[in-house]
A = this chain, B = another copy of it.
Amino acid sequence: MTPVAESRIRVRYAETDQMGVVYYANYLVWMEVGRGDLCRACGFEYRDMEREDGILLAVAEANCRYISAARFDDEVTVRTAIGAAHRRAVTFTYQMYAGGRRLAEGYTKHLILNRNFERAQLPQKYWPMFGLG
């Protein structure tokens, strides 16, 4: 059973552009909100992982496919799941909706780094949370 988190985000005026819709880079910000909520659903805070264990999830790749436009004041749902998890890398997947309408979907691939930005292993206590044996 893989953990899934649903985040609710109300579109901010700041996130729109002169096309009248949400500027495309902001979907990556929403993905980050989704990752934080998925960590919480897995039983830990991303903040503590970074602060206490000195572990960073550095983004190695981000991808987003835009299906229909989000607009100011829309209530967006970000559905975040773990696509693949290894001891040294994790992939998250995202599906975004507003009302019944699909907005976008995408993924981010992350490398586990230590405070010196060197490749590292996910500490063992996090393994069960990411479905690792």
B65 touches A61 (CB 8 A): yes
Q: Please indicate the chain B residues that have their CB under 8 angstroms from the CB of A32 in the complex.
A: 12-14, 25
Q: Mark A51-90, 1 if CB is under 8 A from B, else 0.
A: 0000010111111111001011100000000000000000
With contact pairs A12-B33, A17-B14, A28-B24 given, residues A61 and B72 touching in the complex (Cβ less than 8 Å): no
Name the contact of A14 in the complex, choosing from B13, B29, B73, B108 (C-beta under 8 A). Answer: B29
Interface size class of A (residues with CB under 8 A): 35 or more
With contact pairs A25-B29, A32-B12, A65-B60 given, residues A72 and B19 touching in the complex (Cβ less than 8 Å): no
A20 touches B23 (CB 8 A): no
With contact pairs A28-B28, A47-B73 given, residues A17 and B18 touching in the complex (Cβ less than 8 Å): yes
B72 touches A47 (CB 8 A): yes
In the complex, which residue of chain B has the Cβ closest to the Cβ of A109?
Answer: B65
